[in-house]
Amino acid sequence: MTESLTFAAIPHASPTPAGTRAALIEKPDFGRVPTDHMVTIKWSVDKGWHDATVLARGPFQLDPACAVLHYAQEIFEGMKAYRTADGAITLFRPEENARRFNESAERMAMPVIPEELFLAAIEELVRIDADWIPAGEGGSLYIRPFMFASEVFLGVKPASEYIFCVIASPVGAYFKGGSKAITLWVSEHYSRAAAGGTGAAKCGGNYAGSLVAQAEAIKNGCDQVVFLDAAEHRWVEELGGMNIFFVMDDGSLITPPLGTILSGITRNSIMELARAAGHDVREEPYSFDQWQADARSGKLREAFACGTAAVVAGIGEVRHAGGSFAIGNSGDGPVTTALRDQLVGIQRGNVADDRKWLHGV
Ligand code: PLP
Ligand code: COI
């Protein structure tokens, strides 16, 4: 039975010494510091899920005709492990990542992985690399489960072999400016996703397609690109790697509806926390023209981006080909701050976890 696969452990010959690890954890660049281990599980049409292994982090050896290198059949997830004040290790809603991973798998014609196996693989890695979880404020262990087509062939069809892998990396703040409000660039030429496409899946191809727009954002002095819809180029969708919320002067929140965007676990959690705090939260289309008009008139008080990597980041300014506009006081507003404090408080064990979102490791 796949669900009860046991993980073989291949001993690590030279794990990182404690002193070196402490220095690496101190101020890591996002995703640049690898931990000592990784987990791999194989899948084939004949055997299903098999060969679950914990081994030293290292390169894959891939044939040049490995399917993922040609047709990009690849999906991934992003989640974090936290060290709470009492020394415990927690994951935030990892079952939601398992569910979304399998939705992505279905969209990309890949095999689904039993939720228990997905979670067991993550727990194995977090346990063995627990010393890599930064203890300081804002630090966490970013976990990257992913799966790719490993069959060696050049025909265009769903592969018959896959590798599921989990790697991890200690991280601090995603944006270089730390907690400073971010600046967005509205992409004039590029869209991220179209109806019927892969926008709702967390597949590598979505990110490859977004990079030229993100590069344009950086060239214009912005932190992130924000995409408008592909059909009318009118409706705000999401950022390159985050969802977006608008906070209006009546205390209500607006966030773009699902369909062509990623169903963010942070987005979903924020909606629940905001509703519980008495805010009216609407998932409805919001146009770029309306955004500009509301920012200018003061009807829009705050806006923020949210995601696992970025957490909750206030948006201070928006730039586009025709000019720019500021939002609120160009810093974090009170609603953004309160929601971030509550979310981070739950994740780090400082605020009661009434919804049972934390998963102990
Ligand atoms: N949108 C995109 C395109 C993302 O890459 C992410 C990050 O994973 C999100 C939204 C936010 O999703 P989550 O809150 O589940 O991390
Ligand atoms: C995440 O937040 O986990 C993502 O995958 C987004 C990316 C910007 C790292």
For 325-357, how does the pLDDT look when each residue is reduced to its tens digit (9 = 90+)? 999 988 889 999 999 999 999 999 999 999 999
Atom of ligand 1 nearest to the CA of 267: 14
Residue nearest to atom 6 of ligand 2 (CA): 241
Average pLDDT over residues 144-154: 98
Q: Specify the higher pLDDT residue, 20 or 138.
A: 20
Counting beta carbons within 10 angstroms of the beta carbon of residue 97, is it exposed (0 to 12), middle (13 to 18) or buried (19 or more)? buried
- Ligand 2 contacts (CB < 6 A) are 78, 241, 307-309
Q: Name the more confident of 316 and 174.
A: 316
Residue 50, token pair as written in the block: 């098999």
Atom of ligand 2 nearest to the CA of 142: 3
Query: Pick from 269, 268, 276, 274: which is nearest to 252 by CA?
Result: 274
Query: How far does the centroid of ligand 2 lie from the alpha carbon of residue 241, in Å?
Result: 5
Mean pLDDT of 110-127: 98
Q: Which two tokens stand for residue 51?
A: 């060969």
Start-end of H helices in 129-250: 204-219
Whole-angstrom Cα distance, residue 229 to residue 192?
8
Structure confidence by residue, pLDDT tens digits, 36-78: 999 999 999 999 999 999 999 999 999 999 999 999 999 999 9
Angle between the 265-276 and 334-347 helix axes, to the nearest 10 degrees?
110
**What is the whole-number distance in angstroms between the Cα of residue 318 and the centre of ligand 1?**
20
Which atom in ligand 1 lies closest to the alpha carbon of residue 308? 16
Residue bearing tokens 């899946």: 201
What is the pTM assigned to this prediction? 0.97
CB 174 within 8 A of CB 30: yes
pLDDT recorded at residue 2 = 55
Confidence band (pLDDT; 50, 70, 90) for 214?
Answer: very high
* Non-local CB neighbours of 351 within 8 Å, separated by 6+ positions: 341, 342, 345
- How many other C-beta atoms are found inside a 10 Å radius of the C-beta of residue 142? 22
Amino acid letter, 131: D
Residue 78 near ligand 1, beta carbon < 6 Å = yes
Whose Cα sits closest to atom 8 in ligand 2?
Answer: 241
- Interface ipTM: 0.98
Percentage of the chain surpassing pLDDT 90? 91
Pocket of ligand 2, candidates 242, 243, 263, 265: which has the most ligand atoms within 8 Å of its Cβ, to mutate? 242
| pLDDT recorded at residue 81 | 97
Q: pLDDT tens, 228-278?
A: 999 999 999 999 999 999 999 999 999 999 999 999 999 999 999 999 999
Question: Where do we find the tokens 């010393």?
Answer: 131
Distance CA 351, CA 344 (A): 8
Atom of ligand 2 nearest to the CA of 266: 2
What integer best gives the mean pLDDT of the chain?
A: 96
* Interatomic CA distance for residues 188 and 226, integer angstroms: 10
The neighbouring-strand residues paired with 360 are 90
Measured in Å, residue 59 CA sits from the centre of ligand 1 at 26
CA–CA separation, 289 and 253 (whole Å): 18
Give the Å distance between the CA of 125 and the centre of ligand 1.
22
Q: Is the pLDDT of residue 25 over 90?
A: yes
Q: Residue 322 pLDDT more than 60?
A: yes
